[in-house]
Structure 1
Amino acid sequence: MDEYALARTEKKQGHGYQGFVCHASPDVSLVDDLKRRDLTVNAMAKGPDGKIIDPYGGQKDLQAKVLRHVSPAFVEDPLRVLRVARFAARYADYGFSVAPETMNLMADIVEQNELENLSSERIFKEFDRSLTENHPDIFVQVLKDCGALERIWPSLDKLWGIPNPAKWHPEICSGIHTIMVLQRAVVLSDKPSIRFAALCHDLGKGLTEENHWPSHHGHESAGLPLVKEICKKLKVPKSYEHLALQVCQYHLHCHKAFELNPKTILKMFNSLDVWRKPEMFSDFLIANKADFQGRTGFEERPYPQADYLLEGFHACQQVSAKPYVDQGLKGKEIKDAMNEEKLAILTGHKTKFTVPTI
């Protein structure tokens, strides 16, 4: 069965992206209908004779690879700020960019506080969609450039301009580093939860007092409330939040894995709940590899820490409660005995593991 829709127009009579009254009738022309679209490349149609109907220059913008608004009515729908940013992320591989005048209108929408009229669910839906694209970094950058990131996710926006030690971060800026981590996460995994964790891992650096720069002692634990805050604000799925909190809290532990004593590694394993959620642990390691490689000149460096921790975990997975139950141990006694056995395994693993020369 074919479906047909009458041409229609929209008139804004309220706030947000739902504050419209639609008018559909035979007297509404196709040109009027196309005028209500967001971008010129979306405002074309094909006539019965096969000819392209293009009253607003969509073909020209398509050839120029420009995302441009159709009319000043663009500002009536604040959701378009996020949609245009997502289109920029989706079509970045083809060379598309947002027209400067459209960026100006997006900035006007932000300045008029229209983003506050969008629901948390709708905002995160656009974020989540962007995280499945090849260039979610472009999505974040466009939001920052028009001022929307500061309104939607201020703790992330704040990272730009905050320095890191040049020895470990030749790119210096924490915001640039976060974007680079996101880019590496895209290379390493197609999971949006890992990419979201990449955006969250260094939020605590935004709380470091300026007189302590470029050092950020304790930024891991400092960032945890900020991760919880954005997850609550945008109603982020619990699985995303759980991984983001893990990466935020333990990314330095992961990077320094070879320096950690077996007790500390076991404590981290237990805190990460690797025994019940092994897949989450794999995602944790991928996110941390992205963090390590998301620095200027580090992009292709090996990350043996992941292999070291994963092998230690797999060895500890063989520990079973059954022998201790058979011995008559109960409750905490069983747990303590299993931890002792895991500790012995990790101690032997540390001795036997050959650290590759980096």
Structure 2
Amino acid sequence: MSENSQALLDSLSLDPRLSLFAVAAGATMVGGELGDDTLDDMAAQVASGALAELDARLVWPLLAEGLMGAQPSRMLAALTACGALERLLPEFTALFGRFQTGFDGEPVDIGRHQGRVLDIAAAGNAPLRVRLAALLCNLGKADSPPQHLPSHYRHIDRCLPRIRNVCARFGIAAELEDFAILVAMELERVHRATRMRAGSMTALLERVAAFADPARFEDLLTVCACDYFAYPGNTTPTYPKAALLKQALAACLALPETDEDEATTRHEQRAMAVASALRSGTDHEL
């Protein structure tokens, strides 16, 4: 168990059953790998029914600590191995054994992929909202209609209520929930940025409030970059879509100020600026 996990348990006088989650959170720290005996003890605790009446809101501080660890996938692996994650976060464990197509055309296990996304986010010292969004953004792919596979038809429609349910279950702050929903809705659109028209790219920037909340926009790009680099074969020095969207944003920000009542005109001006900056007419794909 990490010193932070033990301190959290001691200071808050939490239910002893939460020691299982403290141990799992500690596994994310450097040198925190768990042995087989520890995992067996955790599994026995779960099998005994210890978690049956456990309030998930008490678990969230420890899960958040694990997400902020050096290798969050270790916590997920430990909690999955002992059966605890299935009890409290079945929406995520349902992703294991489900596949999506990677950038190289090869199938990728979604549950394992999300673990890699989290570890890449951790390596970049990303904030909690980035890591939570990385955990939750693909929940709708667990039960995609088989006739549409490998495409995950309308998975966002299934994902959003699951994110809301998970956040309600764990008592997660509204700001974190809102960002996770934003990522679920926009991640794939960001990945498709090079195929967008200037008007569509401008609409994306406006929709994600890139002008009003640049920090949130940066965090969105961070999640997308972590997702990109989690796929095998993506070894470019930087995430190419981030540079493209930042160039588009800079072109828009260079425009002179206008009256807030001129929203339609402003959108058109921005689209023209984006098209010009990226050397493309608004009727051509970028």
Same fold flag (TM > 0.5): yes
Alignment CA distance shift 1:167-1:128 (3 Å): closer
Alignment CA distance shift 1:168-1:234 (3 Å): farther
Q: TM-score, normalised by structure 2?
A: 0.85
The answer to whether 1:147 aligns with 2:83 is yes
Deviation sequence 1:20-39 (CA, Å, 0-9, x none): xxxxxxxxxxxxxxxxxx89
1:77 to 16, 20, 35: 16
1:212 aligned partner: 148
Contact 1:164 1:214 in 2 (8 A): yes
Contact 1:319 1:338 in 2 (8 A): no
Say how many residue pairs are matched: 271
1:233 to 169, 172, 194: 169
The answer to whether 1:346 aligns with 2:274 is yes
The answer to whether 1:223 aligns with 2:122 is no
Q: What SS class does the counterpart of residue 172 from structure 1 fall into?
A: strand
Contact 1:189 1:286 in 2 (8 A): no
Residue identity in the other structure for 2:126: D
In 1, the alpha carbon distance for the partners of 2:225 and 2:254 equals: 26
In 1, the alpha carbon distance for the partners of 2:137 and 2:96 equals: 14
The answer to whether 1:126 aligns with 2:65 is no
1:99 aligned partner: 35
Deviation sequence 1:117-164 (CA, Å, 0-9, x none): 333332110011112210111011111111111111111110000022
2:118 aligned partner: 182
Mark the runs of 5 or more structure 2 residues left unpaired by the alignment.
7-14, 281-286
In 2, the alpha carbon distance for the partners of 1:263 and 1:296 equals: 32
In 2, the alpha carbon distance for the partners of 1:201 and 1:302 equals: 22
Q: Which has the higher helix share?
A: 2
The runs of at least 4 aligned residues of structure 1 exceeding 4 Å deviation read none
In 2, the alpha carbon distance for the partners of 1:82 and 1:321 equals: 51
In 2, the alpha carbon distance for the partners of 1:166 and 1:337 equals: 39
In 1, the alpha carbon distance for the partners of 2:172 and 2:255 equals: 35
Q: What SS class does the counterpart of residue 207 from structure 1 fall into?
A: coil
Greater Cα offset, 272-281 or 107-116? 107-116
The answer to whether 1:157 aligns with 2:81 is no
Residue identity in the other structure for 1:138: R
* C-alpha displacement of 1:173: 0.8
Residue identity in the other structure for 1:314: A
Percent of paired sites with the same residue:
22
Residue identity in the other structure for 1:337: T
In 1, the alpha carbon distance for the partners of 2:137 and 2:201 equals: 20
Question: CA RMSD, aligned part only?
Answer: 2.6
Residue identity in the other structure for 1:152: L
Greater Cα offset, 210-219 or 198-207? 210-219
Contact 2:27 2:74 in 1 (8 A): yes
Q: Answer 1 or 2: higher relative contact order, Cα 8 Å, separation at least 6.
A: 2
Residue identity in the other structure for 1:83: A
The answer to whether 1:295 aligns with 2:231 is yes
2:50 to 110, 114, 118: 114
* C-alpha displacement of 1:243: 1.8
Mark the runs of 5 or more structure 1 residues left unpaired by the alignment.
1-37, 44-75, 353-358
* C-alpha displacement of 1:85: 0.4
Give 1:297-316 correspondences, 5 Å limit: 297-300=233-236, 302-316=238-252
